[in-house]
Structure 1
Amino acid sequence: MQRMKRATRDRGAVAVWVAILMVPLLIAAALAIDISAAHADRQRLQHGADAAALAVAQQCSVTPCTDATADAVAQELAESNEPLGGAPTANADLDAGWVEVQNSSDREYWFAPVLGVDDAAISAASAASWGFPTGGSAVMPFAFSWCELAVQAGLPPIRNDAGAIVGIQIPEAGVTRTVLASKKADSGCTGPSGNVVPGGFGWLEPTEGCGDTVTDIDSWAPSDPGNAPPNGCSPTDFSKWVGQTILLPVFDVATGNGNNAEYRIFGYIAFRLEAYYFAGQYVTPERPCDGSERCLRGTFLRYADTASDFDHSPTGPQMGASVVELRLPEER
């Protein structure tokens, strides 16, 4: 009988302990569940902001865009990454060569109201820059003459109000052309030798290996003479670039001859390589020129490069190519 009396006195003890622990349990739930949910929402807002910044920068780098267009793109991508807590609001702030995206949303808490906190405003920001390439490493050690591009590819120069050339016009749809070595092109762009410089086809001296030729605008790049690609290059190097869009230097002035020749780099153009014939094994199955001609064929296009090591500036030479880079908002 004594044992039964003790059991009777213990009756209800669990309910008391549950009542005592309920508040800390709810606090723990608020910390573990509500804060985790808010963190997940912020991650989705960040994904939407990053995607929008890159998308707006890519669009603005190749075609004119407005604040309204940028806001629409940002809102669309914010909604594609909509947080679970509530509908997002996006805003894009445009500047020259720069866009900053702000995404925001409200998260209604499930357990935090016991602490007097019903909801929270969540936000994320991202930015991207774009501009025309001003220097970097080209994978193919070759430079076009802007004069040859105007004559052979039908790409006229862009001139400013003072008449100075500031770029090359690239149609929105791109232009596919076969560009012959200047000696065979009879374009009127060359000197008495038939080449831009005697013995020069447009090959540059690679900085390191065949796929790394570093140049900068307004600087002089040394020439590698002859019809064949430079020493250190192989047919495999060129075949792997077929079908790829690459940034290639364009020069406006050349001087010297042979190994002493130099090209002054004017800017960079986006070129999707399709076929070529230079000499010996440097030929694609579809040979784009005949006989003693040397040539390459591809498409000159408007192109936003998001995986490039090229430096860029919104005031660089305009040749259809642009470089887009995801940035931190405070970097502006």
Structure 2
Amino acid sequence: MQRLIRRQRDRDRGAVAVWVALLMVPFLIASALAIDIAAANADRQRLQTGADAAALAIAQDCARRVQCTPDARTATARAMATANDPLVDPADAVVTRFGSGQVQVRTSSERDYLFAPVLGQEQVSIEAEAAAMWGYPTGGPAVMPFAFSWCELAVQAGLPPIRDASNRIIGIDVPEAGVTRTVLAAKKSDSGCTGPSGNVVPGGFGWLEPTEGCGETVTDIDGWAPSDPGNSPPNGCKPQDFSKWVGQTVFLPVFETATGQGNNAQYGIFGYVAFRLEAYYFAGQYVTPDRPCSGSERCMRGTFLRFADLDTDFEYSADGPQLGATVVQLLLPEEN
């Protein structure tokens, strides 16, 4: 009896060995194909990273009005693709769409399979696409409760207007390298930008009524922002609220018109400027060690920039006022 059981076991072992041998071939083929597929997916991920980087880089350049010619866009796309080359074959990139504040980029490469040729598949073409959009802020939360006068920017900062084909002012021409200026608050008698009281609106120095605390001041172009009267920062603000903005680039509203006076004053918002704050003097504790002005004056010094922000809560439009501040974001690519 034991001899019969032993023989049966031997036969079972032989059958298992045969099945293992038979199944080993498709198992090895599947494993080999999995390696090829995983490698192709890794390449596709690198191509996608290159496409995303290319779309964002081109959008930033065009938003700042630098290196936005067709040749420059192609060169930027290829540079970003090369920086994210797949592990085997080099990547190429083309700009497939451009216009109306949008750009779309396609990156591509070829991968030679290692194991798939046994099934007649020598290589695979891999592609990835990305799109980005840029525009000019039309509304959102400015972190500093202050608005520049359009006239003051033109006179004090020396920033000439940008006009469209019908001679309508659509922005200001901020130099590529930016321009550093000390800008006095609304009270400035020799600028030609103020009324008889020395202010744009009586009792107002360009301060806005904060939406919450001393933080976000939500405004919109073609809308009215309430003034916070007086020559001191608004109630709820603390010295540290201003000191933390030194060295930071912020979007600040620019007003074109004003109405009313005191608590009833309002500023008509025209657009938003990108401003890197360097020093200020608002009297009392609201002053930096390097005072850009003194006495009864109120001022801030900083640099007006062509600046593209990838992380912002501002709404934007390709047709918005062009004041140097721009917003850039990735989009879902359009189908060809």
Matched, 1:89 2:95: no
Pick the aligned partner of 2:27 from 25, 28, 37.
25
Separation in structure 1 between the aligned mates of residue 18 and residue 217 of structure 2, nearest angstrom: 77
Q: Secondary structure at the match of 1:74?
A: helix
Structure 2 partner of 1:131 = 135
Structure 2 partner of 1:69 = 72
Separation in structure 2 between the aligned mates of residue 282 and residue 124 of structure 1, nearest angstrom: 51
Q: Structure 1: which 4+ aligned runs deviate by more than 4 Å?
A: 12-19
1:85–1:105 Cα contact (<8 Å) kept: no
Superposition RMSD in Å: 2.4
Q: Which deviates more, 163-172 or 130-139?
A: 163-172
Separation in structure 2 between the aligned mates of residue 94 and residue 288 of structure 1, nearest angstrom: 44
How far apart are 1:18 and its partner, in Å? 6.4
Q: Which deviates more, 177-186 or 17-26?
A: 17-26
Separation in structure 2 between the aligned mates of residue 237 and residue 150 of structure 1, nearest angstrom: 28
The 5-angstrom pairing of residues 227-306 of structure 1 reads: 227-306=231-310
2:149–2:186 Cα contact (<8 Å) kept: no
Separation in structure 1 between the aligned mates of residue 103 and residue 276 of structure 2, nearest angstrom: 28
1:81-103: per-residue Cα shift (whole Å, max 9, x none)?
Answer: 11123221211132220111111
How far apart are 1:76 and its partner, in Å? 1.1
TM-score, normalising length from structure 2?
A: 0.91
Q: Identify unmatched segments of 5+ residues in structure 2.
A: none
The 5-angstrom pairing of residues 107-186 of structure 1 reads: 107-186=111-190
Structure 1 partner of 2:328 = 324
1:115 is aligned with what amino acid? L
1:215-249: per-residue Cα shift (whole Å, max 9, x none)?
Answer: 11101111001111111111111101000111100
- For these two proteins, the number of residue pairs brought into alignment is 329
Q: Secondary structure at the match of 2:187?
A: helix
Separation in structure 2 between the aligned mates of residue 164 and residue 76 of structure 1, nearest angstrom: 38
Separation in structure 2 between the aligned mates of residue 131 and residue 323 of structure 1, nearest angstrom: 6
2:186–2:204 Cα contact (<8 Å) kept: no
How far apart are 1:198 and its partner, in Å? 0.2
Q: Percent identity?
A: 71
1:34–1:109 Cα contact (<8 Å) kept: yes
Q: Identify unmatched segments of 5+ residues in structure 1.
A: none
1:26–1:112 Cα contact (<8 Å) kept: no
1:29–1:111 Cα contact (<8 Å) kept: no
2:137–2:317 Cα contact (<8 Å) kept: yes
